[in-house]
Amino acid sequence: MSRAKLDIDAEQVEALASLCFQPREIADILQVPADKILKEYMTLIDNVYPDEKVFIKKRSNRIVRLMANKEEKNKFRYKTKKLLRYLGYQNKSEKEDMVYTSLRAGLVDSLNQQGVTIHALGRGAVEFILGYTIKELMFHMEQLFIDGMTWRNYGKWHIDHKKPKSWFKFNTAQDTQFLECWGLENLQPKWAKDNMSKGNKYDG
């Protein structure tokens, strides 16, 4: 879709983007549909700033240097980091935290469904129970990535159980079937739409 058909001010979008406003915030400011802003924003990035992350950081650093108020600087840095996360850019630690959060939710849900009451697990506890670290899980997934899969688009693909969780019966996190269910050998990356349509089938 061309810029003319979007019926929005491309220069305003660029100006607001350079100030590290998120696409949805730009849409609110300009009072136009969010989907149009997102398309315009990505067109801007692709055509003018191919390295989006560098663009955002350079612009934000330049603005921060011009700010005299320390509190405002910190707020702006936070806004920039928030924008980078919104766009899918994360440092190594943030990626690991993202995977840990997702894995923890799955573990707690899996145990609760089997009647094992548990509400929260720290990262150390998750790794101890599973017998492998978050880094090891991420490495395992990366070896199985197919074209298009990255940690940046995690969510469009899932950490899938080849043999569905419902096939296993266990009473504690120490049971053999629990460990088999959550073992690396039973986990694989799978596109979300394929995972949702798989249902309760084995996918080895």
pLDDT top residue among 146 and 80: 146
21 assigned to some structural domain: yes
Q: Is residue 138 domain-shared with residue 122, that is, in the same domain?
A: yes
What are 26-64's pLDDT values in tens digits?
776 667 777 777 766 666 656 655 566 666 666 666 656
Do the beta carbons of residue 119 and residue 108 sit within 8 Å? yes
204 assigned to some structural domain: no
Q: Is residue 81 domain-shared with residue 164, that is, in the same domain?
A: no
Do the beta carbons of residue 186 and residue 160 sit within 8 Å? no
Q: Is residue 81 domain-shared with residue 136, that is, in the same domain?
A: no
Task: Report helix, strand or coil for 191.
Answer: strand
Q: Is residue 96 domain-shared with residue 187, that is, in the same domain?
A: yes
Domain endpoint, select from 45, 71, 86:
86
Q: Is residue 12 domain-shared with residue 72, that is, in the same domain?
A: yes
Encoding tokens for residue 104?
Answer: 């923890």
Q: Single out the residue of 151, 144, 161, 145 nearest to residue 99, CA to CA.
A: 151
104 assigned to some structural domain: yes
Contacts of 18 (CB under 8 A, 6+ apart): 59
| Residue ranges making up the domain that contains 57 | 3-86
117 assigned to some structural domain: yes
- The pTM of the full predicted model, rounded to 2 decimals, is 0.57
Do the beta carbons of residue 43 and residue 3 sit within 8 Å? yes
203 assigned to some structural domain: no
Q: How many angstroms separate the Cα of 77 from the Cα of each of 19, 50, 74, 133?
A: 11, 22, 5, 31
Domain endpoint, select from 65, 86, 107:
86
What are 138-172's pLDDT values in tens digits?
999 999 999 888 887 888 899 999 999 889 988 88
Total domains in the fold of the chain: 2
Domain endpoint, select from 86, 112, 135:
86
